[in-house]
Every structure is written in C-alpha cells, then in structure tokens.
Amino acid sequence: MDRRNTLKVIHFAGTVWFMLCTGFVFILAMWQAGFNWLVIFSLSGYLAFLITLLVSLYLFAIFKGTGKGPDLEKEHPLTNTGSYLLFYVSAPLLGILAGAASMVGESEILPLLSGIALGTLAVTFLTWVIVDPVVSMLEILTPASRRHRLQRLATEKFRREERKRDREEQVKRVFLWQEQDKRRWQEILALDAVKLAELLKVKSIDFEQAEHKAVDIGVRAWQIGGLECMRQLRDKTLELYKERYQNVTITDHISSWWDGIGSWRTPATG
C-alpha cells in the first residue's frame, strides 16, 4: 500500500472514531442532564444522520476533490510533507492518547471513556480547525509561496482567456460556415425558387401536379442543407413571388406541400 492510500485509511479510521466520540459525548451529556433514554435515542438518530452526512461530504472532498498539484505543493511546502499529513489525519487517534493521559489514575470506566472522547474532540478541533488553517495561512505569506501563487494565478488567468478566445473563434467559424452555406444554397437553388414561385399560382385543376413538383424541390433542398436550407428556399420563393406578382394574393402552399419532408412540419394554425 502506497503512502497516499495509507493516509486515506488512517484518515477514514480517525474520522469514524471522531464520529463515535461525538455521539458518545452527546448521549452522555443528555443522560447526565436527566433526559430519559427514549428522548436520547430519538435525538441520537437525527444527530447520527447529520454527522454521517457532513462527514461523508468531508471525506468525499478529501479523497476526490482536493488533490494538490505541483504548484500548490510549492505554495504549501510544510502541509504537503508526509509527516504533516500523517499528523493531520491522525489527529482523532492522537486524541485517544491525550484523553487517556488526562485520566491517569482514574479507575472507573465511564469517566475514563468520557475523558478519552473529550480528548479526541479537543485534539481534532485544535488540529483541523485552528492549527491547520493557521499553518496554511503562514505558508502562503512566505516570499517563495507568494511568488508561486502569483505565477499560478497568472497562468490560470492566461489559460481562461485562451479558452475564451478559442470559443470565440469557434463561434466565428460556425457563423462563417453558415453564411457560406446560405450563399451556396442561394446560388444552387435560385432556379428552384423561380419554379416554386410559378407553382404558387397554380389553379385547382393542376394542384396535384404542382404539389408533386414542389415536393421534389423540397426533397432536393433537404438533401442539400436540411431544414435551414428549406426555410431559406421558402422565404426566397415568397419574396420573389411578392416582387413579381404584387397585385396577386399569395397563399403559402409550400408549408403544406413540404409537410413530412425531413423534419419539416406545417406550422399549426390557431
């Protein structure tokens, strides 16, 4: 087992021991305050759930989300050493020794267990809440750590800006491709727009034949550029029809003719 996995096992064991001590001190305090066991066990269940949830989130952050890279190790040269990490994860277990030492000469089991539990809580709180933040803060105040920190932040800022520029370039390329496609479709389908404009003038007797021709043109547009190409061709056709036949009422048969071609659907009428 490598050092990292060993530290994880010790940290997990220490955290479980810390949870047990917390629950023991809570139950003991309520019992000494005169609460009956029904109330104690009821409240202990909620406390156990809350502690388990918080500690699970804490262990997830430690084991999964807080891996330190080389840059952070340069900024925290002490707290990344094996000796310090062993001291940090062993804090609840060291609390056993501190609690036992404070109860030397005690022969009764309940006071002895109470002293060990309180020693565990005290040493763990002192290490995790006071000592570690203070040491970490002092580390980043040294010239070398500050220099590495500034370099790391500058590098991260440069990378963020670079990713932003890449995204902007990708968006520009997409818009450029879309404009190129529209111009290409306009050239390819210019004659089809003229044909469709003529088909819109169809009389009822020739309606079925006009529909077949319009479907063929719609399928061709779908094969060339999909739904967007079909929309462009339809809009161009209606625009051309209005220019040529200004005094003729236009009926948009294209939307119904093309219903079912690819993803084209006739707009709902309300």
d(CA 44, CA 39): 8
Here the tokens at position 139 are: 């580390």
Structure confidence by residue, pLDDT tens digits, 55-72: 655 554 454 434 455 566
- Using CA of residue 72, residue 76, residue 82, residue 85, what is the dihedral sign? negative
CB atoms within 10 A of CB 135: 15
Instruction: Give the model's pLDDT for residue 44.
Output: 58
d(CA 206, CA 183): 33
Beta-carbon contacts of 234 under 8 Å, excluding residues fewer than 6 positions away, are 196, 252, 254, 255, 258
Here the tokens at position 88 are: 């940090």
Give, in degrees to the nearest 5, the angle at Cα 154 between 149 and 159: 125
Instruction: Give the model's pLDDT for residue 13.
Output: 87
> Is the separation of the CB atoms in 186 and 228 below 8 Å?
no
Instruction: Give the model's pLDDT for residue 55.
Output: 62
Which ranges of the chain have pLDDT less than 50?
Answer: 60-61, 63-67, 270
Structure confidence by residue, pLDDT tens digits, 212-234: 899 999 998 888 888 888 888 89
Here the tokens at position 93 are: 């277990």
